[in-house]
Amino acid sequence: MAILAYHKVDNKFELGLTNVTPKMFERQVAGLKQRGVNLSLTAEEAAASSRAVYLTFDDGYDCFYRNVAPLLLRVRAKATVFVISDYVGKENEWDLRLSYKRFRHMNAAQLREVAAMGFVVGSHSCSHKDLTRLDRKFARDELRNSKMEIEDLIGREVEEVSFPFGRYDHGTIELAKEVGYKKFYGLGSTGSPNVFGRIPVYRIDTPSAVRRKVEMNRYEILKSDFVHSFAVISALILTRKQKLLKGEN
């Protein structure tokens, strides 16, 4: 059926669309279950079944620990959470500021507890840079070091990676394979033979809209991909900002 991609599930307000309130998330999950959709235990199951969905969460915010994990445990569902290793226990200073408040990422103890609960902990790189715009060595370090650091934290192998901003190319995939990842995730409805496509969920999505996304409704997919296209703009702005901080032209 589909793999869904969330970011924040929190009551904090921000101008961006990636923050879904806990109440809305609960309604979305309940709506899927009421429609007989199986909340899968693996991404492969969701990709192969017409009645299954798998949940993924980018960035590793601590709201996953506070608001998402307890609900999913109650409904006997699992998920993958992708962690930015340089920001474990820190605020999201890497991101564009869309509110006066920052969001905090899970700390080491929370990550270990989440892994012990049975959730999959994957990598979202070291610092959430657009890997397609980095030279090969830097991109490799972002992928390899993140994998190693998260493995040290949770005491188990990290096999899955979500590419920042959903951006990847052939070279990115080859580097990810080279350093030991086995599953690769993009963002947006279009995947590739090697990369799972995922449908993002936004603040504007009602439970009915999420159900239609899971059913691959053409309108909802187009709407979702259009909103996601702004992630490319975000990637360009952040790349430019990083260059200016380094004094590059």
CA dist 137 → 132, 238, 246 (Å):
12, 20, 18
Beta pairing partners, 123: 83, 161
Question: What pLDDT was estimated at residue 247?
Answer: 54
Amino acid at residue number 145? N
190 versus 143: the higher-pLDDT residue is 143
Task: Tell me the per-residue pLDDT of 127-154, one tens digit each, with 9 for 90 and over.
Answer: 999 999 999 999 999 999 999 999 999 9
pLDDT grade, residue 243 (50/70/90)? low
Q: Sketch out the chain's domains with CATH numbers.
A: 2-245 (3.20.20.370)
Q: Taking residues 162-185, what's their average pLDDT? A: 96
Task: Tell me the per-residue pLDDT of 8-53, one tens digit each, with 9 for 90 and over.
Answer: 999 988 888 899 999 999 999 999 999 999 998 788 888 788 789 9
Task: Tell me the per-residue pLDDT of 90-138, one tens digit each, with 9 for 90 and over.
Answer: 999 888 765 567 899 999 999 999 999 999 999 999 999 999 999 999 9
Question: What pLDDT was estimated at residue 244?
Answer: 45
Quote the CA–CA distance of 115 and 44 in Å, as a whole number: 19
DSSP output for 162-230 = E-GGG---HHHHHHHHHTT--EEE-SBS--BTTBB-BEE--TT--HHHHHHHHTT-HHHHHHHHHHHTH
Buried b / exposed e along 47-84 (16+ C-beta atoms within 10 A): beeeebbbbbbbbbbbbbbebbbeebeeeebbbbbbbb
